[in-house]
Amino acid sequence: MLQNFLEHLNGNERLEKLTVKNSNKPVTRKVNNKDDIIAALQRQQPSGAVPIWELEFHLWDIASGRHVVLGEEFNSLSAAEQDKALHTNAEIFLTVAKDMHFAAITVPSRYWEISPGEPAYFWLADEPRFRQIQILKKMVPPDLMLIAGEGALIAMPAANEYMEFSYKLFDAPREIDLRAEKTFDYGMENAKKLFDYGIEAIFTPSDIADNHGPFFNTEQMDRFILPYLSRWAKEVKAMGAYAILHSDGNLTPCLEAIADSGIDALQAIDPTAGMDIVKTKEQVGDRLCLCGNIDCGLVLTAAERQIYDAVQKLIADCRDGGGLVLGCSNVLQAQTPIENYMAIIQAWKDHGQY
């Protein structure tokens, strides 16, 4: 069964027709989705299509007709049941990735909350998370990249510490220094583990802005954020992985500094915060691959035709020259109708090819 499953996954390469110089006969060569995202992350134009990658895809169950077991549900299982669940999860991830033409998938995250006391859906504790990656690495086809998130920067504080953290930025900056250093060291330690397990691109999920602009002022960015972002990019890339920053919010005032930090890509380009991906590409597209920026709210609530048209326009505006990875601006909510997401895929099929 496993062999048949792997053969099924490995059938996702596309044949691209090429004309050889001094010959009228077209020849074909294989291109694949992973080649496309590698080109995009290197700010080059892929030879196949605009690659697709979702920061977190929460439609695994509805897209597969099976059930991905994560979080507290996973923790409640016996050791044998957990091992079985991790293998089933891997099969679902890879089958859906093939069906959706993904160039990369994000493996389950570590624990995080969508609101105080309310855990997110897509998480596993560290040990089973690394085990999930091991299983995926053995099964993943050659046309799919594995990506993981690991925070390496301090970010906007959670609601339960918002006031205290904000005061410390001014009243106790040395405490923030220590927190930034500790966050970076812990993030790099786990980034190295992720790379050793087979992860090829790592993003730091570090929200440093809200809809009004950067949370940190210029002096704080220069002290607490940008030096660590540059160090993180340098060390992740030195390992052989791609370095990606994810941040919500309006990053326009600090785009130049982010682009000069050495990271490979910026994920979100948050449309709900007023960021314009076309203007962003014009400004920093020579230094950053841009990942996004389909509005998650649009995909959740709009009509299929409206979603299709928005994706078509995004591709038309940003695909030339490469450096674009298509995906939603943030975590794709589980309540999203699968028909709405398929409108994205259809627009990509019709307009995403180079």
Q: What is the pLDDT of residues 273-295, one digit of tens each?
A: 999 999 999 999 999 999 999 99
What are the Cα distances from residue 24, in Å, to 20, 21, 91, 216? 7, 8, 43, 59
How many whole angstroms separate alpha carbon 197 and alpha carbon 192?
9
Residue 43, amino acid: R
323: left (phi over 0), alpha (psi -120 to 50) or beta: left
The more confidently predicted of residues 161 and 9 is 161
How many whole angstroms separate alpha carbon 227 and alpha carbon 210?
21
Q: Domains along the chain?
A: 2-351 (3.20.20.210)
How many whole angstroms separate alpha carbon 115 and alpha carbon 63?
26
Q: What is the pLDDT of residues 179-236, one digit of tens each?
A: 999 999 999 999 999 999 999 999 999 999 999 999 999 999 999 999 999 999 999 9
Q: Interhelix angle for 126-139 vs 173-197, to 10°?
A: 40
What pTM, to 2 d.p., does this model score? 0.91
- Residue 291: DSSP 8-state: E
Would you place residue 47 in the very low, low, confident or very high pLDDT band (cuts 50, 70, 90)? very high
Would you place residue 322 in the very low, low, confident or very high pLDDT band (cuts 50, 70, 90)? very high
Strand 26-31 versus strand 14-19 pairing type: antiparallel
